[in-house]
Structure 1
Amino acid sequence: MSDITIKCLSGRAIEPYLSDLARLRIEVFRDFPYLYDGTQEYEEKYLRTYVNSPDSVVVLAYDGDTAVGASTGLPMADETEEFQQPFVDAGYDPQRIFYCAESVLLKSHRGKGIYKHFFDGREGHARKLGRFDWCTFCCVQRPENHPLRPADYAPLDPIWSKFGYVKHPELVTHYTWKDVGETEETAKPMVFWLKPLKEST
């Protein structure tokens, strides 16, 4: 970590970094399990959600002048209905949930302790805002026999559990994108993980 700089940004301060964020999302999410075939133009448009949300957060990791990783989050109430609806249906108040959207880190910089900064940064930001009971994120569910699943693929479930998150199979949404090698977008199931922000007493 001696050469890594961590930046935490919010709202309008994120705008100058949209190009770096877009590039990282395209590169990292192209791999399994996301297999995301994205474009720079679409990514920068999508990421404006964070610029327009005053309570958003982006945690950026730089190695020198090069962005090597990023993690994003914003109030669930600022997300789309498709992300809020599973919580509404299960009796949660979206106003009390902070959504940790993604963490992307280049392969060259994994295993160096950067990932922990992403979770700490987002959760710390949510606690500072002072109105959230939960942090959540979701991950795509791919079949075990998916033809593009690498033989050495290891899910991150144990790491997420170590950070205090619990998988909730009953909280599922669907998100649509075009897979690498496909010609049309298809909907994928996304399962949420939850962590309480307040210590139990």
Structure 2
Amino acid sequence: MQIKIVHGAAVTPHIADLARLRIDVFRAFPYLYEGSEDYEASYLATYAQSPESLFVLALDGARIVGASTGVPMADASEVFQAPFVAAGIDPAKVFYFGESVLLPAYRGRGLGVRFFEEREAYARRLGRFDWCAFCAVDRPKDHPLRPSEYVPLDEFWGKRGYERRADLGTLLAWQDIGAAEETEKPMTFWLKPAR
């Protein structure tokens, strides 16, 4: 296993692989994402346009098996910034963690922890952020597609020092597996002091 760090436009050669990885991983509960490579390429291009974006890539040989992203919140989409503005938190003081995706066969090896460590260290090195933040989808406990063995990541995130902020939420739309159209899903932010 190798960890590779890239920033901004340097991720461009990896976008197609990252798009496929995101689609594969996010098909599982709780996201149930019916993704498209075109949408993913467009989404990832937004990160590539920010010179201070961060991509932590986990490679097995030449194959990307995991990735974790981050970007200054001021460079993120309005849908992510708006809850912070409404709460009186300056988006310029927030470093946003876009996602961590890892193929199931590579879980349990410490890569999830490494993804958080790398993003937090990078936010500290940039030196102007008060908060590290990410958001996660809120699915009902009785969702019909929730696997019986599903364990939410809340405890893992809490051990990393993140606090769920019920006062900071947004809505994101995507098409669920088997659904005819996109629907909005509630997302809640988790925060940790950056310093």
| TM class by smaller structure | over 0.9
Distance 2:111 2:82 in 1: 32
For residue 25 of structure 1, the aligned residue among 22, 25, 29 is 22
Instruction: Point out where structure 1 has 5 or more consecutive residues left out of the alignment.
Output: none
Task: Work out the CA distance in 2 between the residues paired with 1:180 and 1:144.
Answer: 18
Q: Deviations over 1:72-116 (max 9, x none)?
A: 010101111111111111110100000001000000000011111
> How far apart in 2 are the matches of 1:107 and 1:26?
13
State the distance in 1 between where 2:110 and 2:20 align: 22
TM-score normalised per structure 1: 0.95
For residues 38-58 of structure 1, give each alpha carbon's deviation from its aligned partner in whole angstroms, at most 9, with x where no partner exists.
011211111001110011000
State the identity as a percent: 57
RMSD of equivalent CA atoms: 0.7
Q: Tell me whether 1:103 sits opposite 2:103 in the alignment.
A: no
Q: Which amino acid aligns with 1:44?
A: A
Partner of 1:146: 143
For 1:76, the equivalent position in structure 2 comes to 73
The alignment's TM-score, normalised by the length of structure 2, stands at 0.98
Q: Counterparts of 2:184 and 2:28 in 1: how far apart (Å)?
A: 17
CA distance in 2, matches of 1:116, 1:154: 17
For the pair 1:124 / 2:121, whether they are aligned, the reply is: yes
- In structure 2, the partner of 1:167 is 164
1: distance between equivalents of 2:76 and 2:143?
A: 29
Aligned mates of 2:43, 2:59 — CA distance in 1: 22
Say if 2:52 is the partner of 1:51: no
Unaligned runs of 5+ in 2: none
